[in-house]
Amino acid sequence: MPQTLKEVDVVVIGVGFAGSILAKELAASGLTVVGLERGHSRHSVPDFQAPAIHDELKYSIRKGMMQDVTREAMTFRNHYREVALPMRQWEAFLPGTGLGGCGVHWNGQAWRYHEEEFVYKTHIEQRYGKKILDPDLRIQDWGVTYQELEPYYDRFEYLLGVCGKAGNLNGKIEPGGNALEAPRSREYPNPPMKEQYSGALFRKAAVDLGYHPFLQPSANMTRPYTNPEGMTLNPCAYCGFCERYGCEHFAKASPQTVILPVLMKNPNFELRTESQVLKINLDSTGKKATGVSYMDAQGREFEQPASLVLLTAFALNDVRMLLLSGIGKPYDPATETGVVGRNYAYQTQSYVPTFLGEDVHLNSYMAGGASGTVIDDFSVDNFDHSALGFIGGCYVLCGSTNARPVEFHPTPPGTPRWGSKWKDAVRRHYNHTAIFNLSGTSTSMRGNYLDLDPTYRDAWGLPLLRITFDFPDNDVRMSRFVTHKASEIARQMGAKVVVDSPRTGPFTTTSYQSTHNTGGAVIGADPSTSVANRYCQSWDVPNVFVVGACNYPQNSSYNPTLTLGALIYWTADALKTRYLKRPGPLV
Amino acid sequence: MSDGPNSNSRRNFLRSSLVLISTATLAGEAPALLGNPRAEETHRFLNESERRFLLAAVDRLIPADERWPGAAEAGVVNYIDLQMAGAWGRGEIMYRHGPFRKGTPTQGYQLEYTPAELFRRSILAINAHFASPAKSFDQLPSEEKDAYLSSLEKGDIDLDGVPSNTFFDFLLQHTVEGFFSDPIYGGNKNKIAWKMIGFPGAYADYHDLIDKHGVEFHREPLSIADGPGYHSMTSTTGGK
Amino acid sequence: MTKIHSTVRVKSVLSMAVVFVAIIIVASYPAAQTSVSNKTIPNKSISNESQIAVRIVAEGTTRGAVACARCHGFDGASDGSGAFPRLDGQSAQYLADQLRRFASGDRQNALMQPIAKALKDDEIGAVAQYYANVHTVPLPSRPVPAQLRDRGKQVAEVGDLSVRVQACESCHGPNGEGEPVSGVPYLGGQYSHYISLQIQMFRQGYRKSQQMIVPAHNLSEQDITAVAAYFEQAPRPAVK
């Protein structure tokens, strides 16, 4: 018999960036807030200290910081005609767990999206006409504009201490930054990262070819920084153990380094870790949440009543929670009815391995998580697609985030997979090879969606999330085009061998690409094609807000986190200034 | 971008006066220096015939040469032994609920065997293929070993229910892991693999070096075990 | 944390104290090496650059640089008081960098600035190399109370969450051995008084380092004493 706990004002499901910030804002407004985190508590000291944290096998290969796949996996298939099977190990993407969530082990790559992306459908149809869209594509407007989100981007950037150089300050193009970026109201809080050797070589080649390189914006600090919450961060040591690892230096912007200590000091807030939320409970009308049910580490079940439920458990888990709780109509691709699980998208990654020869010592193991040199000339809709027959694009980045040898030991094409020739090639190319990283748009498609698996269950007996996904042909054509352009830059760098490696289908779960899973609980102006309104408030259950990359109708070229930060503060504002004054639908 | 006002002269100093810190790391370490691979064996999981097969197999996957030891000398079989004995081998870092069905290549590993079961079953089947212990895999000439491994790799052989390419990929993956991971896991003995490629290891502060483009940085690699706070012997759990 | 007005006072008192102590030591240091009780291992070869270095160390330069040995000794061990650092076996990159910072005023030190300014750039490189190559058997370190050493070890190896300080060794290496190529100084075996003083220098802004500002600021007085005491008795790595 579940024990019913004392009611609180707010329950937050998942204490990562979204959960921490929303909890802090609401607790500071005087509300009682409980944060339920299924993972463990962890902190910069002792949990992220070196040298123990620099353990490639533990964290990169055995996925030490990731969601416990033995208890809570997901199933996958490329097409809905196939039978989905469990992803029995994490490979293609790595959902996190634990206090701080993915904010602990991300790379700190901090991008704003472009203005037109928030009105992507309107923009594309106006610029190119509907005919450019393959019939199965499903792009949508967000219901909120870049201009509305700009102050919240700013706020999140200053919370994190993002390091970069403004390229467009209130419409004025600034030298040294990204001339193609959306206008920003003020400069970055900190100057850009130091440039790697591979990035410097790329920069010269890119300029030679008429492109506009710049240092990518970074949430790993370039100098000591104290944020508006009074948290001080240290400069990054470029240790090459950023993604998949916690930061020993308090240099990576994570909930632990930018906000959690402030939250933990507020007596209005209570953190409960190792608390697995099973579902959001609804009243008999099905239109009001009464709180959540969760299980603790001892297997005891609790009901936590609350007036407001914030679902901030990472994109994929958010969608699953809505489905498990019966909030919103599940999407059916056959009939194209329903909304929960609709518009699932990903990231269209491709690479250009660039072998520079043994006299070029790149030292790629010296790396920040976000210290690459990049061009924006081929991102999203920054170039004219009229004659190209596809939409979308990639940013092209050169610069390593690591050269950890189990993961990184490139060999040129034609090298055997093993044996003495392989070994010799590894030795000869390890410190002399750059890998361009192209991060491409992922266009939502009718057949790509999320729902609950009919067969496989988690350790609590609940259905796993089922992912049905493959790359739309549009994105494959896009990848071929941009990767080819990137290869030209590589050749311009004087590389001995350049491997033009665009993304081709089918999407496979067996090799890592990106953990930018988006969509499934999209926001929008139209309840028939969105799960939440522009304030991330569920259309169906107004006292449930879902805030995550699941809100995105399609995915951009850019990493999603900074845009999520803007949505977090935007939602916090809506909650504090409007919802709490008059609970109910905000739209 | 550096701290001091003299960063340019610092860079010049570094270039002009310091390129190599240890000639030993560049010249290589003769395989014999790592000692007999049969010495210091761990015995947590593998039996004698499994170990014999694996030593011979990993020796072909990453062979020794005049300059650099290979997987066998580097203790990769110890690594595999310890991994199979630990959480990873026992399948505790995998979703192991059924039903088990054959999937598409994009759906990844779907066999009902834990990594340890996969190794045991496959190697048993491989050893059974050879006529007698006198003609076991490890006694084949190198070219024939390579030919056999290639046929495993192609998936040409059924290993008692395990597609041989699934086993081969597992074996290759574990060999690379054992060769390149931190020595605390039993392989990469004396950090030999890190020395070969020039990876400095677990201590990694490059704040002042990252923008010294092109400098040849050579340092004796450092393992987690070189930290005074590290007390354990080789780790069996593989991380979890 | 001291308030603003008293910080200003402390700054000037501290700088006067440094100069005062330095003058006393210089005045009392004998010209010959009669007080040296450490054993100095001589350099293996005398190159041209080494000859230049030895002359500067012993006699100073015609442009007015005082002989290094007068304060630092030929063995780099100085007089053990901690007013002057151990230089023996220190990173050449680091020593040269610090001399340049003394010269420019980036690192404020009334005693070292005129000396560093008087040295030409190649002379800086030479004396830095000289002390980098000196290997001195250290005197047994002073006994440290166990509680202080344990606290120092904790901060050195793990850090302190309550003041948001990471483990010193994450940059300074195992046992604080330093990172010679990138120019991170060793702390292991360095005089505890010198370490404590330098942390104060970072704190007050007399030394500038992006990486040291926050840790220097955040450490409590007791923890500064503890890490300094811990590192003084930490084992030095074997001569390579």
Q: Which residue has the higher pLDDT, A418 or C2?
A: A418
What is the mean pLDDT of the segment spanning A579-585? 97
Q: Does B133 touch chain A (CB under 8 A)?
A: no
Neighbours of chain B (3+ CB pairs under 8 A): A, C
Beta partners for A66?
Answer: A96
Q: What share of chain B is helix, strand, coil (3-state, %, to 5)?
A: 45, 0, 50
Contact A142, A121 (CB under 8 A): no
Q: In whole angstroms, give the CA distance from residue A443 to residue A347.
A: 9
Residue B234: the pLDDT is 42
Closest residue to B227, CB basis, from C169, C208, C234: C169
For B16-21, the CB contacts below 8 A with 24+ separation are B16/C125, B17/C92, B17/C125, B17/C129, B18/C92, B18/C93, B18/C181, B19/B215, B19/B216, B20/B216, B20/B218, B21/B218, B21/B219, B21/B220, B21/C180, B21/C181
Q: In whole angstroms, give the CA distance from residue A123 to residue A129.
A: 9
Closest residue to B229, CB basis, from C96, C157, C182: C157
Q: In whole angstroms, give the CA distance from residue A541 to residue A310.
A: 12
pLDDT tens-place string over residues A505-560: 999 999 999 999 999 999 999 999 999 999 999 999 999 999 999 999 999 999 99
Residue B36: how many CA atoms within 13 Å on its side-chain side? 4
The helix/strand/coil state of A190 is: strand
Token pair of C195, please? 């370490």
**Residue A89 scores a pLDDT above 70:** yes
pLDDT < 50 regions, chain C: 1-44
Q: In whole angstroms, give the CA distance from residue A255 to residue A263.
A: 10
Percentage of residues in chain B having pLDDT higher than 70: 78
* A361 is annotated as an active-site residue: no
The burial class, CB within 10 Å (0-12 / 13-18 / 19+), for A573 is middle
One DSSP character per residue, A370-390 reads T--EEE-TTSTTSS--TTTS-
* Cis-peptide, bond into residue A255, ω within 30° of zero: no
Percentage of residues in chain A having pLDDT higher than 90: 100
pLDDT tens-place string over residues A279-308: 999 999 999 999 999 999 999 999 999 999
Token pair of A484, please? 């080819």
Contact B201, C179 (CB under 8 A): no
Closest residue to C161, CB basis, from A45, A50, A51: A45
Closest residue to A507, CB basis, from B60, B106, B176: B106
Contact A498, A491 (CB under 8 A): yes
Strands A544-546 and A213-215, by their bridges, are unpaired
- Which residues of chain C have a CB within 8 Å of the CB of A46? 158-159, 161
Distances (CA, A) of A77 to A81, A469, A521, B185: 9, 7, 20, 35
C214 to A44: CB separation less than 8 angstroms, yes or no: no
Residue in A with minimal Cα distance to B214: A361
Residue C6: the pLDDT is 36
What is the mean pLDDT of the segment spanning B129-155? 91
Contact A10, A31 (CB under 8 A): yes
**Residue B25 scores a pLDDT above 60:** no
Taking the CA of residue A45 and the nearest CA in chain B, the distance in Å comes to: 14
Buried b (16+ CB within 10 A) or exposed e, B12-22: ebbeebbeebe
**Residue A370 scores a pLDDT above 70:** yes
Buried b (16+ CB within 10 A) or exposed e, A102-139: bbbbbbbbbbbbbbbbbbbbebbeeebeeebbeeebbb
Q: What share of chain A is helix, strand, coil (3-state, %, to 5)?
A: 25, 20, 55
Give the model's confidence band at A219: pLDDT under 50 very low, under 70 low, under 90 confident, else very high: very high
What is the mean pLDDT of the segment spanning B57-70? 97
Backbone angles phi, psi at B222, to 5 degrees: -120, 135
Residue type, A175: P
B228 to C101: CB separation less than 8 angstroms, yes or no: no
The burial class, CB within 10 Å (0-12 / 13-18 / 19+), for A1 is exposed
Q: Where are the domains of chain C?
A: 4-32+41-136, 146-232
Mean pLDDT (chain A, rounded):
98
Residues 6+ apart with CB under 8 A from B16: C125
- Edge-to-edge strand ranges of the sheet holding A497-498: A213-215, A373-375, A394-398, A433-440, A348-355, A497-498
- Which residues of chain C have a CB within 8 Å of the CB of A54? none
- Which residues of chain B have a CB within 8 Å of the CB of C180? 21
**Residue A119 scores a pLDDT above 50:** yes
Q: In whole angstroms, give the CA distance from residue C83 to residue C195.
A: 10
From A512, A523, A551, A572, select the one nearest A308 (Cα to Cα).
A572
Closest residue to B9, CB basis, from C121, C158, C208: C121
pLDDT tens-place string over residues B190-199: 999 999 999 9
The helix/strand/coil state of A434 is: strand
Residues 6+ apart with CB under 8 A from B195: B25, B29, B221
B209 to C182: CB separation less than 8 angstroms, yes or no: yes
Q: Does C79 touch chain B (CB under 8 A)?
A: no
Cα diameter, chain A? 72
Residue in C with minimal Cα distance to B20: C181
One DSSP character per residue, A68-132 reads -TTTS-EEEESSTTSPPEE--S--S---B-STTTHHHHS--B--PPPGGGGGHHHHHHHHH-GGG
Domains of chain A, CATH where assigned: 3-579 (3.50.50.60)
Number of inter-chain CB pairs under 8 A, B vs C: 80
Number of inter-chain CB pairs under 8 A, A vs C: 53
Strands A172-173 and A168-169, by their bridges, are antiparallel
Annotation: CATH topology of C4-32+41-136 = Cytochrome Bc1 Complex; Chain D, domain 2 (1.10.760)
CATH code matching the domain that covers C146-232, chosen among 3.40.50.300, 1.10.10.10, 3.90.1170.50, 1.10.760.10? 1.10.760.10
Q: In whole angstroms, give the CA distance from residue A307 to residue A545.
A: 12
What is the mean pLDDT of the segment spanning B11-26? 38
- Interface residue of A54, A239, A245, A250 to substitute, partner C, most C CBs within 10 Å: A250
Residues 6+ apart with CB under 8 A from A423: B62, B63, B65, B68, B70
Token pair of A313, please? 């458990």
Neighbours of chain A (3+ CB pairs under 8 A): B, C
Mean pLDDT (chain B, rounded):
85
Q: Does C157 touch chain B (CB under 8 A)?
A: yes
Q: What share of chain C is helix, strand, coil (3-state, %, to 5)?
A: 50, 5, 45
Q: Considering Cα of B144, then B149, then B153, then B157, what sign does the dihedral take?
A: positive
The helix/strand/coil state of A305 is: strand
pLDDT tens-place string over residues B28-53: 555 555 666 556 899 999 999 999 99
**Residue B240 scores a pLDDT above 90:** no
Q: In whole angstroms, give the CA distance from residue A54 to residue B201.
A: 8
**Residue A574 scores a pLDDT above 50:** yes
- Rounded to 10°, the helix B115-129/B164-180 angle is 120
Residue in B with minimal Cα distance to A410: B197
Residue in B with minimal Cα distance to A90: B94
Residue A438: how many CA atoms within 13 Å on its side-chain side? 33
What is the mean pLDDT of the segment spanning B140-167? 95
Residues 6+ apart with CB under 8 A from A577: none
Residues 6+ apart with CB under 8 A from B130: B136, B137
Strands A544-546 and A301-311, by their bridges, are parallel
Contact B196, B27 (CB under 8 A): no
Residues 6+ apart with CB under 8 A from C92: B17, B18, C125, C128, C129, C131, C132, C180
Residue A146: the pLDDT is 98
Residues 6+ apart with CB under 8 A from C195: C187, C227, C228, C231, C232
Closest residue to C181, CB basis, from B6, B21, B227: B21
Q: In whole angstroms, give the CA distance from residue A42 to residue A65.
A: 10
Residue B34: the pLDDT is 66
- Which residues of chain C have a CB within 8 Å of the CB of A49? 157-159, 166-167, 170
What is the mean pLDDT of the segment spanning A475-481? 98
Residue in C with minimal Cα distance to B205: C171
- Interface residue of A45, A47, A58, A422 to substitute, partner B, most B CBs within 10 Å: A58
Residue A505 CB neighbours (<10 A): 14
What is the mean pLDDT of the segment spanning A262-287? 98
Residue C32: the pLDDT is 35
Residue type, A138: R
From C91, C100, C99, C90, select the one nearest C181 (Cα to Cα).
C91
pLDDT tens-place string over residues A423-446: 999 999 999 999 999 999 999 999
Residue C3 CB neighbours (<10 A): 7
C166 to A224: CB separation less than 8 angstroms, yes or no: no
A55 to B216: CB separation less than 8 angstroms, yes or no: no
Q: Complex ipTM, two decimals?
A: 0.96
C184 to B205: CB separation less than 8 angstroms, yes or no: yes
- Which residues of chain B have a CB within 8 Å of the CB of A365? 199-200, 204, 206
pLDDT tens-place string over residues B74-107: 999 999 999 999 999 999 999 999 999 999 999 9
Residue A43 CB neighbours (<10 A): 18
The burial class, CB within 10 Å (0-12 / 13-18 / 19+), for A160 is buried
Q: Does A223 touch chain C (CB under 8 A)?
A: yes
